[in-house]
Amino acid sequence: MLGRMLLTTATALVLAPAAVASAVPVAAPAGATSVREYRSTIVFSQYVPAERHWRLAIRRPGGAPEVLRDVRPADRSFRADIGPDSNGRSQLVYQRCEETCDLFVYSLSAGTGERAVRNANDPANDDVAPTLWRGRIAWARIFGERADRKVVVYTKALSAPRSRPSTRLPGVPLRRSRDDGPGTSVTSGRGIDALELYGDNLAQVVSYTCRGCSGISQTELRLVRLRARTSTPVAFQTVGLSGQQLVGPSFTAGTLGFYRACLGDPSGCQTGGATPYRYRLSNRQGFRGTPGPVRVFGFADAGEVAYRVEGCNFETQAEFNAVCRIEEVPAASYVPARIPQRD
């Protein structure tokens, strides 16, 4: 039914693609990385082969990539986000993993260097996948080992005292109905692949396995309302040998965007399955964009343009990343469509 609905003038304005133009390479990260965008500035991880370390990097509008030299390097790529601080200035939040994974913030305007998020970090457990908006952060904390680990999503104002408890939010489903018959199954191998905060909205890409469920694992895009602490499923994907992923949750112009990619055997995406999508927040309407490349490691929907991480590999040897790049591409042409869901 959604596929037959006519776009209103307002919807057409929001979803109209930019003028036809070629993709523009804007960075060469030398390895697979996520990418996030705010006001046309992107943040990503840059692998430096000579150092065998990752560096945090940004690229401002129209400029060249900048490695942030006053941010200590890391042994693995950063999971970073960019957004406004409480005064609307651009700020980064990211995790660095050493003995444990901890959260740090970095102002792009104040020149104060990196600062540990001391009112949130737990020295005994990993704090990961941070995101920020207007002086508030959300992140996930991991308890235990992978097989039976517990993943809890929290939010807290950066200005709040450490003594004030963080607010717990819905996260990875603890149970799920089985695919092979009636009943439910306890999930395991739970993970948070990405979080993206925008006002009262928190997008979550979660993953898990469960007995009686199809595929190797499952991944979902969920939308959490912070004040109500409610969670709504937006997209679902069974993960098989094609390594299907829901990449790069992004808020733009009243929609939540993401990209369906295949990072393993490409066959699962070769018939139009590699596609950007948008989900309208006001009425839950779905839109599908023009199919694109299969192996997209990072994605950020910025409205009139999008940023895609292509040609990369999780291996860091140069021969695997000779064409690894972040491209700025015109927005896809979107049409009303059903977003992939679990039937």
Q: Which residue has the tokens 């020149």?
A: 111
Two tokens, residue 205? 């890409």
Give the long-range contacts of residues 265-269, CB within 8 A, separation 24 or more.
265/241, 266/242, 266/294, 266/295, 267/242, 268/240, 268/241, 268/242, 268/243, 268/244, 269/242, 269/244, 269/294
Joined together, the tokens standing for residue 216 give 């190797």
The answer to whether the CB of 56 falls within 8 A of the CB of 75 is no
Query: Where on the phi/psi map is residue 158: left (φ > 0), alpha (ψ -120 to 50), or beta?
Result: alpha
pLDDT at position 149: 77
Phi then psi for 10, rounded to 5 degrees?
-65, -45
Residue range 169-191, pLDDT digits in tens: 999 999 989 888 898 999 988 99
Across 254-259, average pLDDT: 97
Q: Is the pLDDT of residue 6 over 60?
A: no
φ/ψ of residue 294, rounded to 5: -80, -50
Q: What is the pLDDT of residue 3?
A: 35
Q: How do beta strands 305-310 and 101-107 pair?
A: unpaired
Rounded Cα distance, 56 and 37, in Å? 14
Question: How many Å apart are CA 63 and CA 111, to the nearest integer?
Answer: 19
pTM of the full structure: 0.90
Tell me, what's the pLDDT at 92?
A: 97
d(CA 104, CA 95): 6
Return the domain boundaries, the chain.
Answer: 1-34+241-343, 78-239
The total of other beta-carbon atoms located within 10 Å of residue 25's CB is: 12
CA distance 170 to 221: 13
**pLDDT value of position 2:** 33
pLDDT at 35 over 80: yes
- Is residue 34 within 8 Å of residue 309, measured between CB atoms? yes
- Which of 56-60, 75-79, 136-140 is predicted with the least confidence, judged by mean pLDDT? 75-79
Instruction: Categorize the per-residue pLDDT at 308 as very low, low, confident or very high, splitting at 50, 70 and 90.
Output: very high
- Predicted pLDDT at 146: 60
pLDDT band at 230 (very low <50, low <70, confident <90, very high): very high
- Across residues 275-281, what is the average pLDDT? 97
